[in-house]
Amino acid sequence: MFEKLEITRMAQALAAQSGARMAVIAENVANADTPGYKAKDVPAFADVYAAEGLEMRATRSGHLSAPATAVAAIPDIVRGHESPNGNSVSLEAEMVKSVEARQSHEMALAIYRATSDVVRASLGRPR
């Protein structure tokens, strides 16, 4: 029953994508001193979700779009250039990506927990 709910499938996919991204970030950090190593990343979850033929739906106007002021307040991350040995890993950028991946994973778990609580409550079995 639980696996048929679209929101739980989306939360599971987000958690899996976050875990995969964390593995790639760990690989980048492990190879930070490897000559010629190029930093890798996984595609954004929204892109992967859309590629599967699914799309996020807005239930009201402005639901999926951030206000212009919020977007303008986020500073751009300065990506480092390749080092003289050809390595393109920036530890600072990897730290930022790891925090983003952790937040995405925590959001997926929160969605799953909330959905679980709603289903339990509807069955008369509160936590």
Render pLDDT for 30-79 as a digit per residue (tens, 0 to 9). Answer: 999 999 999 998 888 888 777 776 565 667 776 655 444 443 443 444 45
Contacts of 7 (CB under 8 A, 6+ apart): 111, 115
Q: Is the model's pLDDT at 103 over the cut of 90? A: yes
Specify whether the CB–CB gap between 68 and 57 falls below 8 A. Answer: no
Report the pLDDT value the prediction gives residue 23, as an integer from 0 to 100.
Answer: 94
Q: Is the model's pLDDT at 28 over the cut of 80? A: yes
Q: Is the model's pLDDT at 125 over the cut of 90? A: no
Q: Cα–Cα distances in Å, from 22 out to 49, 69, 94?
A: 18, 29, 10
* Residue boundaries of the structural domains of the chain: 2-56+85-122
